[in-house]
Structure 1
Amino acid sequence: MIICEELLLSHGAELQNYNSGEFIFEEGATPRYYFQIRSGTVVINSILDDGKEFIHGIPFEGHCFAETYLFHNVNYAINAIAITACEIIRMEKKKFFKFLLKHPEQIFHLYSYTADRMHYRYLTAAALSFRDPLTKIDLVMNYFKDYFGGKEKHSFLIPYTRQQLASLTGLRIETVIRTVKKMEKLDMVKIDNTKIYY
């Protein structure tokens, strides 16, 4: 977890429950809260002009999301939607700033988490501009395996569906399906039923 739940709750944070498919906030809304996931999974996305979804991230238990918006005077350019039933700790912006002033060491936890996400963006930004879908998918899978500490070949279960991989890489789902099959033939992944092991 990014910030200790007990600390947040003892400083005025509250628990909110969201059902699968429910918006936590929508693009264009004013940022008013710090959000940290106690349980469940959220998708951070944008809906493009052609109606396609682009996934920026899929935070889950212990992660925070959209916290950088609290430090800037702009509205959300993204959506946050519960993928599963979620219990989310939220703290009103003014209370959150008072909390950080009282516990400045928490700023380092927050900044470290944000830096890790920026590292992912830098790693993937150039590769996602490549036309080769195998390079894109391999890069994303490799990042997640490294992030979660996977070492052995074919030991890491990719925690995303093929549709989510498509949205993370900007590819069509058919392209992802074909590419994953090609990766299996090249012994880059192992497929067990619908599960992908990298």
Structure 2
Amino acid sequence: MIEIELLEKYGAVRKQYKKSEIIFEKGNLATHYYQIISGAVKMNNFNDEGREFIQGFFYANQSFGEPPLFLDRTYPANAEAIEDCELLSIPKDSFLKLIAENTAVSIKIIENLAQRLHYKSVMAAEISTQDSEHRLLQLFDYSITYFNFKKDKNGFHIDLTRQQMGDLTGLRVETVIRTIKTLEKKGELKIVNRKVYR
């Protein structure tokens, strides 16, 4: 999102995280801007019964965890590496100086936050009012654009596990599996070697 050279000019450092390593925890004060060079990160919460709710997945060239950075608040969710990652981390003061001195970067940040807010609004409406087929199709269609899923001869590969699909839509894994089979029969999806294509 922000050029690596520009971030490093303002003092960003590269950090390595192993799969399953926690980058920050819910309740910690936001002190840094994070951008992914390689790997993937999820932000999640757990309810009182210990069920995980995934706020989102983030991939190379994406940033995560910015809202509380602008609000002087604590993180509302955990950030965890879901595969080995290399991240850029820049302290809040340096990051704010960077965006104040680079208008184009400020606009990119605003667009990125607006995109996420739009996604959350769409998915909140889907989860509260729609059936499982509609929820999954909305998730897939949105994810194709937002996560830049790749297209091949079978269509767009929905690069999410069944568990991740459930966590993102509020559905049980068993419901996700059943619904995917139904959508395949209706011609909405293809399943090739257990991979889902839209």
TM-score by structure 1 length? 0.94
- Match of residue 23 from structure 1: 22
Q: Distance in 2 between matches of 1:177 and 1:149?
A: 20
C-alpha change, 1:138 and 1:76, in structure 2 (3 Å) is same
Q: Answer with 66-75 or 142-151: which moved more.
A: 142-151
Confirm or deny: 8 A CA contact 1:154 1:189 kept in the other structure. no
C-alpha change, 1:95 and 1:118, in structure 2 (3 Å) is same
Is structure 2 residue 133 aligned with structure 1 residue 134? yes
Report the AA paired with residue 192 of structure 1. Answer: V
* Identical aligned residues as a percent: 39
Confirm or deny: 8 A CA contact 2:149 2:158 kept in the other structure. no
- Match of residue 163 from structure 1: 163
1:118-175: CA deviation from partner (whole Å, max 9, x where unpaired): 1212222211112511111111011122443878995100010000000000111011
Q: Which consecutive unaligned segments of at least 5 residues does structure 2 have?
A: none
- Match of residue 94 from structure 1: 93
Q: Distance in 2 between matches of 1:22 and 1:168?
A: 21
Confirm or deny: 8 A CA contact 1:165 1:176 kept in the other structure. yes
Q: Distance in 2 between matches of 1:179 and 1:149?
A: 21
Confirm or deny: 8 A CA contact 1:26 1:80 kept in the other structure. yes
Report the AA paired with residue 19 of structure 2. Answer: S
- Match of residue 113 from structure 2: 114
Q: Answer with 93-102 or 108-117: which moved more.
A: 93-102
- Match of residue 4 from structure 1: 3
TM-score by structure 2 length? 0.94
1:73-114: CA deviation from partner (whole Å, max 9, x where unpaired): 221110000000000000001111122222232110111111
